[in-house]
Amino acid sequence: MTPYITKGVGGFYYVRTDDGIAECRARGIFRKRGITPVAGDQVQLNADANMIDEILPRKNVFVRPPVANLDVLFIVASTTQPVPSTLVLDKLAASALYQNVQPVLVVTKTDLAAADMLRKAYTGSGLPLILLHYDTGEGLDEVRGWIKDHLCAFCGNSGVGKSTLINALAPDLDRETGAISKKLGRGRHTTREVEIFEVCGGRIADTPGFASLETQRLCRIPKEELEQVFPEFEPYRQQCRFVGCSHRTEKGCAVRKALEEGKISQTRYDSYLAMYEEAAQLKDWEK
């Protein structure tokens, strides 16, 4: 197997090899090149297996959470406590797609409230949606299917049940779960750094919780490319009357026609408009 970083703490990197976990430092050349090793990086070690000599080419890299070479990003949302924001979910999904990662929506707390709003919002979106029922185990096999042979991460606002989900998938990890703050309506961050575990025939990255502000920073997608990260637009966007249609006010827009015909979710389209406006206001140095 190709050695890869499972965790980085205090300048030390823990690398899984055929012989187990090696504690390593990284060569100073990476700092000079402006490269920070992160969990998920495939690496080459020196002969003593105590120094990272090279970071192999990355498929992708995320800053929040700091993880590389993701295949699947599970976006965890709860039906209530906290109430889901489809705009936040859509930004996360768009950010994943923009970096060639498959987003999968996972809905928790279905015993506390119905998931009708989320089901309606994402029907026809092209994004997989999994409803979890811990009492029956429904949905867990679907999640395991996505994990197999992939490197996956879990994200979502604090309190949605990411650690609980990981416990259900891999009980032996015994991950700490956080209590929901009644005052704030959201949970405490219980995971301090990204750490990768081999479970379910694949690998999962246990990641720190996302705050809304961090989610906003994830999405630095040029407005002209936003249409590409809304899969439900794909059948229609080439049919627009004008090249470069922004799908907002132009005449002959096939995307807006599909919206009017109920083929595209109004919720998803509203997220597209909000993200387009945000992208349009970005200065070049912020992109």
Known binding-site residues for GTP equal 108-111, 156-164
Token output for 280 = 């349009």
The beta strand positions in the chain, using DSSP E, are: 4-9, 12-17, 20-26, 43-45, 51-55, 61-62, 67-68, 72-78, 102-108, 129-131, 151-155, 180-181, 186-187, 195-199, 202-206
Token output for 139 = 């949905």
Q: Any residues with CB less than 8 A from the CB of 141 and at least 6 apart, and which?
A: none
Could you list the residues known to form a binding site, using ranges: 108-111, 156-164, 240, 245, 247, 253
Closest CA to 166 of 186, 185, 194, 128: 194
Q: Are the C-beta atoms of residues 257 and 287 closer than 8 Å to each other? A: no
Instruction: For residue 16, give Cα distances in angstroms to 21, 45, 116.
Output: 4, 11, 42
DSSP reduced 3-state for 31: helix
The 8-class DSSP code of residue 210 comes to B
DSSP reduced 3-state for 264: coil
Preceding amide of 65 cis, omega within 30 = yes
Could you list the residues known to form a binding site for Zn(2+), using ranges: 240, 245, 247, 253
Other CB atoms within 10 Å distance of the CB of residue 279: 17
Token pair 């002969």 in the structure block, residue: 47
Closest CA to 18 of 198, 278, 166: 198
